[in-house]
């Protein structure tokens, strides 16, 4: 293994939060390395589009701007690298095309974003069913449609963005199946109006969808996806129980996002349950420092707040690191950033509130519905374990294998914790979360071991005979 390289700061994740953090720290004179699994900076929201010179789309411009600024900066870019281990001190180990790399720094900013929350329903494992965030990636960075006849479903503004994106590419949206009532949207308007530019963008998407005469089914939800090897039909129901089937070849569905908190959990940072902002997140200071000194969490991984606040949180954390390393930072700049962050909360909390209320949806999951996709564990198996008196979330995992598969519990974790809380009449705080363990993502053993001589393996002393 190569000798660890030392930096002032390691930033994990090159989205809006991590990118801003790295740029800010480098501008303050710190040595910074920015590591991301994607081959280009931008994260999920500012994914590098298929052809970078896409005519003015605000999102793309941000991504372009970030990529250009990083290229021009002193930030060491380590892209296309999968981080698999983060340990005390901080040491970060990653694997990439050029093999393994480890680097160390006293300060670590984690900006690893969030992943999709989809509440299980029969058929959600069928090919052709995918997440809303997945669809934005397909549309933006691959310039591809999820299917020829797409149903867009779930909750929140991402539905409007995806439906509008599909239409803009000449695709067909069969319907938008919206869990919210129209009045829910209208009620959120005053809060959303605090960010006029974002509201106008969202309103534009929705307007384009409605103008295309695409049916927008408010207060409806998907109850089943059917098909043989690919979804061919979905069943939706209104709140009053009217069911109907919609024929389609893709279903794009999302119930919000779950913060990616593997790194703070690995490092035993104190966590708390914040339902509004997506679930378990680290306890943070005003500078986004966790209970582990030198460890910062920013962006959606510190609670779902969107790209605007992600950038601000990244800049604030980087300035705090610079200060801790003896660099001077302008108090006026800090004050301005903190104000901007607080101001933006009005909007992001209103969006977050639209994505909440899933407890009832989780309670409704049918006994035969698969909850853990990797290991095909159904709700009834989890309920059966609880009926035997098992309440410990890690023990539930042991007896059902739920969460033991390669996604490492990311897709089912939140749902299972909610089910256990419901089943044992305890709060999510009492139920807790699965223990965080390496590797952060599955890594091929072949890549992990690299080429080596048997004699060089540092085998410890044998146990006593």
CB of 448 to other proteins, least distance (A): 6
Examine residue 149 and tell whether it contacts other proteins (CB under 8 A).
no
Examine residue 83 and tell whether it contacts other proteins (CB under 8 A).
no
Among 305, 223, 400, 312, which residue's Cα sits nearest to residue 19? Answer: 312
Tokens representing 188?
């959120």
Q: How far apart are CA 43 and CA 16, in angstroms?
A: 7
Examine residue 3 and tell whether it contacts other proteins (CB under 8 A).
no
Examine residue 293 and tell whether it contacts other proteins (CB under 8 A).
no
Which of these segments, 12-20, 26-34, 320-328, 381-389, binds other proteins (CB under 8 A)?
A: 381-389
Examine residue 300 and tell whether it contacts other proteins (CB under 8 A).
no
Say which residue the tokens 């207060």 belong to.
219
Number of residues that bind other proteins (CB under 8 A): 88
8 Å CB contact between 301 and 274:
no
Strand 231-238: give its sheet, edge to edge: 220-227, 231-238, 243-247
Q: For other proteins, what does the binding mask look like between residues 236 and 265, x meaning CB under 8 A?
A: ------------------------------
Among 47, 246, 245, which residue's Cα sits nearest to residue 165? Answer: 47
Q: How far apart are CA 341 and CA 442, in angstroms?
A: 35
Classified as helix, coil or strand, 309 is helix
Among 421, 339, 335, 408, which residue's Cα sits nearest to residue 373? Answer: 408
Contact with other proteins (CB under 8 A) among 300, 315, 375, 414: 375
**Cβ distance to other proteins smaller for residue 360 or 463:** 463
CB of 149 to other proteins, least distance (A): 13
8 Å CB contact between 92 and 41:
no
**Cβ distance to other proteins smaller for residue 87 or 212:** 87
CB of 73 to other proteins, least distance (A): 25
Examine residue 368 and tell whether it contacts other proteins (CB under 8 A).
no
**Cβ distance to other proteins smaller for residue 188 or 411:** 411
Q: How far apart are CA 379 and CA 357, in angstroms?
A: 20
Which of these segments, 21-29, 159-167, 218-226, 372-380, binds other proteins (CB under 8 A)?
A: 372-380
Q: For other proteins, what does the binding mask look like between residues 110 and 129, x meaning CB under 8 A?
A: -----xx--------xxxxx
Tokens representing 342?
């607080």
CB of 264 to other proteins, least distance (A): 13
**Cβ distance to other proteins smaller for residue 243 or 437:** 437
Q: How far apart are CA 253 and CA 108, in angstroms?
A: 34
Examine residue 425 and tell whether it contacts other proteins (CB under 8 A).
no
Say which residue the tokens 């809060």 belong to.
191
Which of these segments, 45-53, 59-67, 156-164, 297-305, binds other proteins (CB under 8 A)?
A: 45-53
Which of these segments, 214-222, 304-312, 357-365, 438-446, binds other proteins (CB under 8 A)?
A: 438-446
Q: Which residues contact 193 (CB under 8 A, 6 or more apart)?
A: 199
Examine residue 131 and tell whether it contacts other proteins (CB under 8 A).
yes
* Other CB atoms within 10 Å distance of the CB of residue 366: 13
CB of 333 to other proteins, least distance (A): 33
Contact with other proteins (CB under 8 A) among 212, 285, 359, 395: 395
**Cβ distance to other proteins smaller for residue 392 or 429:** 392
Among 66, 58, 61, which residue's Cα sits nearest to residue 26? Answer: 66
Examine residue 180 and tell whether it contacts other proteins (CB under 8 A).
no
Contact with other proteins (CB under 8 A) among 27, 69, 137, 337: 137
Examine residue 336 and tell whether it contacts other proteins (CB under 8 A).
no
Q: State which H helix or E strand residue 280 sits in.
A: strand 279-282
Q: How far apart are CA 185 and CA 237, in angstroms?
A: 20
Q: How far apart are CA 254 and CA 118, in angstroms?
A: 5
């Amino acid at each position: 293994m190569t000798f660890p390289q030392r930096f002032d700061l390691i930033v994990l994740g090159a989205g809006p939060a991590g990118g801003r953090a790295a740029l800010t720290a480098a501008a303050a004179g710190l040595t910074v390395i920015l590591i991301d699994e994607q081959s280009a900076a931008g994260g999920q929201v500012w994914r590098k589009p298929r052809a970078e010179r896409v005519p003015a789309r605000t999102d793309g411009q941000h991504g372009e701007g970030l990529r250009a600024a990083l290229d021009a900066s002193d930030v060491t870019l380590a892209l296309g690298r999968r981080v698999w281990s983060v340990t005390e001190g901080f040491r970060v180990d990653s694997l990439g095309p050029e093999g393994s790399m480890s680097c160390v720094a006293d300060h670590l900013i984690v900006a690893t974003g969030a992943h999709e929350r989809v509440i299980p329903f029969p058929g959600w494992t069928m090919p052709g069913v995918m997440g809303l965030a997945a669809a934005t990636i397909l549309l933006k960075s691959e310039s591809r449609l999820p299917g020829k006849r797409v149903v867009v479903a779930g909750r929140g503004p991402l539905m409007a963005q995806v439906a509008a994106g599909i239409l803009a590419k000449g695709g067909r949206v069969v319907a938008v199946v919206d869990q919210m009532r129209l009045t829910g949207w209208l009620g959120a308007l005053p809060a959303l109006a605090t960010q006029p530019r974002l509201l106008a963008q969202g309103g534009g998407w929705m307007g384009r969808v409605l103008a295309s005469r695409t049916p927008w089914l408010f207060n409806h939800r998907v109850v089943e996806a059917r098909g043989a090897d690919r979804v061919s039909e979905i069943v939706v129901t209104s709140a009053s129980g009217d069911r109907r089937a919609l024929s389609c070849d893709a279903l794009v569905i999302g119930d919000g996002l779950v913060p990616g908190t593997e790194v703070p959990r690995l490092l035993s940072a104190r966590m708390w349950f914040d339902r509004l902002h997506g679930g378990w997140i680290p306890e943070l200071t005003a500078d986004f420092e966790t209970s582990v000194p030198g460890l910062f969490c920013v962006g959606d991984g510190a609670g779902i707040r969107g790209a605007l606040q992600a950038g601000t949180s990244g800049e604030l954390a980087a300035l705090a690191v610079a200060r801790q390393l003896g660099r001077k930072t302008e108090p006026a700049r800090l004050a301005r950033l903190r104000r901007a962050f607080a101001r933006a909360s009005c909007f992001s909390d209103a969006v977050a509130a639209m994505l909440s209320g899933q407890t009832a949806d989780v309670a409704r999951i049918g006994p035969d519905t698969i909850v853990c996709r990797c290991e095909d564990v159904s709700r009834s198996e989890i309920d059966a374990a609880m009926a035997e008196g098992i309440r410990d979330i890690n023990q539930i995992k042991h007896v059902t294998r739920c969460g033991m598969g390669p996604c490492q519990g990311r897709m089912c974790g939140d749902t299972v914790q909610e089910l256990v809380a419901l089943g044992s009449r305890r709060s999510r705080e009492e139920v807790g979360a699965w223990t965080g363990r390496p590797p952060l993502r599955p890594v091929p053993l072949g890549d992990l071991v690299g080429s080596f001589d048997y004699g060089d393996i540092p085998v410890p002393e044998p146990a006593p005979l």
